[in-house]
Structure 1
């Protein structure tokens, strides 16, 4: 984990051969929130992308490097004091040395907070 203690995986559900749903809990007391932003913590987008990468790495059991990320849309602010638990719906397709993902991150009430597609290179 690059950002140690940033989140905890609560549950992983295998939906089908290419899809998983992972419930995580953000650590609202993590130092990253002291600077982003004091008194009104908002989860940095780069931290969410790193989280998606780490969860994908665990699923494919390989170190990954981000090649491209596209169609990234943050549709809601992720404040860990309000919505600490997130559900990441990940479609993962492995092809030789690449891993392609489609992600939808939601709050537990179903509100979409983030959508993106990405391609990773296996190490």
Structure 2
């Protein structure tokens, strides 16, 4: 079974939430779990899924989440896409400071461009999933 646009969107959303995703080609199902590299990750609730993935590994396609460099690039691309030059400059300034992810999030969350950011990021994640398929 091939991935549909709906599969791609679902995988993109899960990756955006910090999950690792696995598409089971024979059934068209998506499995996911938190990133084991996360210091707060507790493997116990996911042991059954790990066994399931391991027992049929050859039929799964794994999708990775964006690393921090790629996530930063998406934020920077969004800033450069802004036609409001004052807000663009504000975002770029926030990205150049210490804790750029936190600064960017605060600036976006308190702006009228919040939904635009979510739409932009969703498209970026969909493109990221499609890129991993190649």
- Given the two structures, how large is their TM-score scaled by the length of structure 1? 0.28
Q: Larger strand proportion, structure 1 or 2?
A: 1
Larger radius of gyration: 2
Q: Which has the higher helix share?
A: 2
